[in-house]
Amino acid sequence: MAVSFSNDIMPIFNQFRGQMMWRFDLTNYEHVKANAKTINNRLAHADIYGPMPPPPFDPLTPEQIQLFGQWIKDGCLP
Amino acid sequence: MDKKTEIARAKGLHSTKPAPTAAAPIATPEALTTPPMPRAAPVPPPAPYAVQPPTGWWMYHGDPEHTGYVSDSTLTSADFKSGDGAQPFTTLFTLSLDGPVLSVPAVTDGFVYVGLANSQQAQGGNGGALHKIDIQTGQIVNTFNWDLGSDQRDAHSFAGMGCTPAVVNGRVYFGAFNGKFYCLDQETLDLVWVTDLRHADPAHNQPVTNTGGSTTIPTPPPAVIWSSPVVTADGASLYIGCGEGENDQLFSFVFCLDTATGDIKWLFCTNQFVKDQPNQPNVLPAAAVGISPLPSQFSASDIGPIIMGCSVWGAIAYDSELNRIYCSTGNQAPEPDAPPELPSPGYSNGIISLDATTGEFKAFFQVPKESNYRESDFDIDIGGASVVFKWKEGQPDEQKAVAFGCKNGSFFVLDADTLKHIVRQQLLPYHNDGKTWVATVDPHPADPNAINPSVSNDESNSTQGENFSGVFNTPALYPGSDDNPQTISARFFVGMGGPNYHNASPGIDYQSTPFMRAIDAVTLKDVWPMDDSDPRRYSKTSTFDPSINTEVGMYTTAGECGLSSPAVVNDVVFCTTSKIAIYAFDVRDGSLLWYDDLGMQTDGYNGGYGYCLGPAIWKNYVVAGALVFGREGGGILRIYGLTPQPSK
């Protein structure tokens, strides 16, 4: 089954919503879709930008990062 | 005439010509959408000059000299003291905004003009907004919005704006993170003109395309405008910096624009082309030429530049007497792999002085290596603006000078004509022997991801690192007064510490470092009374608040930084911090008069901090905006003032 924002992505991002509200709403489909490339780039380059999310949170797991990439490949379904 | 009156009179120099009798044509926002930028409307007539100079905080730090001093207010320290215990000075309005505030608002003529660094209302959350707010009702009366793609944000992921608008002659001027510089109608916030400073804009005589991509950064930041505009005394020209110091393929420029049309009058590239040879105005790197043929006013250089970076981040200061502008520059790019950073090539880490009419190079000063708190400091930057003032005013050896703080912790006063060094003071504390570093000040951990690092002096001194404890802001000048019960000498107030939003920059060492220094304007030595601790600390800048059973003020909250620029009104100095809080101190001795928390303990990164920038002051109103981690919308704006009196 294709990865969807409401079922797969938003539940992961919801816990970080407050900390990211200065930038955009991580639980808003349109906001995340519009910035999907940027988010994916940050997640994929922890060696340059540092872990994401940064401390004191634990970074996303490789499986979660892969899921986000798959969501983009599937066409950013709502 | 006391010094406050002198400054007020000097501000009156902006009034030279009659007021307008007819409104200029107004363009529509649709002109924003189609590059290359067409002229948005028929050429408007030249901007009329003001009959009366603007009042209050009408541009960055209150005036073109950026003194940060307001004299057209009756607000004094007495307004924070009341015999019956009631606080006359209080919060009037709290506005929850749809995005963070990362700039000091402008406040004049009864309205607040404040920008959002990101707007939740923009398409995909990528864009910005400028609000006009009635200061007496707290209501937003007009908004100007802009959308942009997700690939146009700045290096820190901001897509809106981060400067203080200049509000003068019926216009609102500001630059944004999309590299565009806007002129709006002050009444309606309708677009009058917009000039693109990132891409060539032939309709506005703008020849530069500055879009180079770094080979080392996966998503290289584009050229942006952080710099706040400064307007000349006759209202005909304004100055702005545009660049990006973190992208080693981008150039940096100072632009002079016609305030009436947005056309470029001249430009100056702050990347030096040839070592020991001053750049000429209107010469741009061949790689930055964006139009062909190049207008005859401009020429291209195939030589150099010798170094990239050198971006003008802060506001440019202007002195009408010398007809000069003063531009603070950032670090070189790329940074050296090993210390020392200084001396660095080109116009990096210093102040450039240019002729305000022609852009001709006049002088350059680079901060010396010995001014670093630690020799291993790098990414030095002059983040704030210079203040133009008279050093030793009223004495036989009085001279026009510029003062500024540096991220390396030092504060400088230079001759305004030559930029020769007059006096310097390191503002970060040493132990009382006067030479030993405080180990917890400006720590450089070998592990860059260390949380709240506390390392030895030996490790810090051998590990290259950015100084997050130094000066990131513009000082505020109290000009001195002899009409108070006691004579008060001229003094500067300087915020200490930078961003503390991530683990690598945990804020200043709050137990040894005040988040604001009060220093004599001549000697740069501390002017507020200090205790006998090691290192010595101000003795009156904190107090016990019985309402929360806690000590508040300086030296009480871990990591609390004075990132923003202090502001002075009569005998009161305001300072905002990363707690997030705003404080009022007595300029005489630092007695804490009042404080307010805008976003304490918001559970953000590294303990719940954010930014509060400002304040801005107009008459008896004080305004501060903030970026608050964890807050819905991410932004807040508070308007403070005297408690309204019931009508009789």
Report the percentage of chain B scoring pLDDT > 70. Answer: 84
Give yes or no for a contact between B553 and B542, defined as CB atoms under 8 angstroms apart.
yes
- Asked if the Cβ–Cβ distance from B125 to A31 is below 8 Å, we say yes
Give the 3-state secondary structure percentages of chain B, helix then strand then coil, rounded to 5: 5, 35, 60
Q: Which of B152, B151, B155, B116 has its CA nearest to residue B132? A: B116
- Asked if the Cβ–Cβ distance from A22 to B217 is below 8 Å, we say no
**Integer Cα distance of B585 and B583 in angstroms:** 7
Q: Any residues with CB less than 8 A from the CB of B89 and at least 6 apart, and which?
A: B75, B79, B80, B584, B594, B640, B641, B642, B643
Give yes or no for a contact between A29 and A9, defined as CB atoms under 8 angstroms apart.
no
**Nearest chain A CA: its distance from B37 CA (Å):** 24
Q: Which of B154, B314, B165 has its CA nearest to residue B241? A: B314
Mean pLDDT of chain A: 89
Q: Which amino acid appears at position B315 of this protein?
A: A
Which residue in chain B has the smallest CA separation from A34? B124
Residue A74 pLDDT class (50, 70, 90 cuts): very high
| Weakest-pLDDT range from B201-215, B280-294, B600-614 | B600-614
The mean pLDDT value for B162-190 works out to 96
Give yes or no for a contact between B402 and B324, defined as CB atoms under 8 angstroms apart.
no
pLDDT of residue B85 exceeding 80: no
- Contact B278/A at CB under 8 A: no
Please report the domains of chain B, with CATH numbers, ordered by start residue.
3-642 (2.140.10.10)
- Contact B499/A at CB under 8 A: no
Nearest CB neighbour to B634, from listed A21, A38, A55: A21
In this structure, the strands spanning B567-569 and B69-70 are parallel
Q: What is the pLDDT of residues B241-257, one digit of tens each?
A: 999 877 888 999 999 99
Nearest CB neighbour to A23, from listed B118, B219, B449: B118
**Nearest chain B CA: its distance from A15 CA (Å):** 11
**Nearest chain B CA: its distance from A77 CA (Å):** 15
Q: Which amino acid appears at position B22 of this protein?
A: A
pLDDT of residue B486 exceeding 90: no
**Integer Cα distance of B407 and B473 in angstroms:** 9
Nearest CB neighbour to A41, from listed B123, B218, B449: B218
Nearest CB neighbour to B629, from listed A19, A24, A38: A19
pLDDT on residue B617: 97
**Integer Cα distance of B569 and B487 in angstroms:** 17
**Nearest chain A CA: its distance from B102 CA (Å):** 10
Write out residues 26-65 of A within 8 Å (CB-CB) of B. Answer: 28, 30-31, 33-35, 37-38, 41, 45, 48, 50-51, 54-56
- Contact A2/B at CB under 8 A: no
DSSP calls for B176-214? -TTSEEEEEETTT--EEEEEESSS-BGGGTB-B------
pLDDT on residue B498: 84
Which residue in chain A has the smallest CA separation from B608? A19
- Asked if the Cβ–Cβ distance from B125 to A54 is below 8 Å, we say no
- Asked if the Cβ–Cβ distance from A55 to B604 is below 8 Å, we say no
**Nearest chain B CA: its distance from A67 CA (Å):** 21
Report the percentage of chain B scoring pLDDT > 90. Answer: 66
Nearest CB neighbour to A22, from listed B219, B451, B629: B629
The mean pLDDT value for B53-66 works out to 91
Give all strands of the β-sheet with B324-328 in edge-to-edge order.
Answer: B317-319, B324-328, B350-355, B361-366
pLDDT of residue B33 exceeding 50: no
Q: What is the pLDDT of residues A36-69, one digit of tens each?
A: 988 998 898 888 777 888 777 789 999 999 999 9
Q: Which of B427, B459, B455 has its CA nearest to residue B535? A: B427
**Nearest chain A CA: its distance from B155 CA (Å):** 11
- Contact B601/A at CB under 8 A: no
pLDDT on residue B501: 58
pLDDT on residue B108: 95
**Integer Cα distance of B602 and A57 in angstroms:** 15
- Asked if the Cβ–Cβ distance from B633 to A18 is below 8 Å, we say no
Backbone angles phi, psi at B444, to 5 degrees: -120, 90
Residue B75 pLDDT class (50, 70, 90 cuts): very high
- Asked if the Cβ–Cβ distance from B503 to A54 is below 8 Å, we say yes
| pTM of the predicted protein model | 0.89
Which residue in chain B has the smallest CA separation from A24? B125
- Residues of chain B contacting A33 with CB distance shorter than 8 Å: 124
- Asked if the Cβ–Cβ distance from B124 to A37 is below 8 Å, we say no
**Nearest chain A CA: its distance from B332 CA (Å):** 20
pLDDT on residue B217: 54
- Residues of chain A contacting B503 with CB distance shorter than 8 Å: 54-55
- Asked if the Cβ–Cβ distance from A22 to B606 is below 8 Å, we say no
Residue B504 pLDDT class (50, 70, 90 cuts): low
- Contact A24/B at CB under 8 A: yes
- Residues of chain B contacting A21 with CB distance shorter than 8 Å: 120, 629-634
Chain A to chain B, count of Cβ pairs less than 8 Å apart? 82
pLDDT on residue B237: 96
Residue B355 pLDDT class (50, 70, 90 cuts): very high
Q: Which of B457, B465, B407 has its CA nearest to residue B430? A: B457
Q: Which amino acid appears at position A55 of this protein?
A: P
pLDDT of residue B95 exceeding 90: yes
The mean pLDDT value for B431-449 works out to 90
CA-based torsion, B169, B171, B175, B179: positive or negative: negative
CA-based radius of gyration for chain B: 23
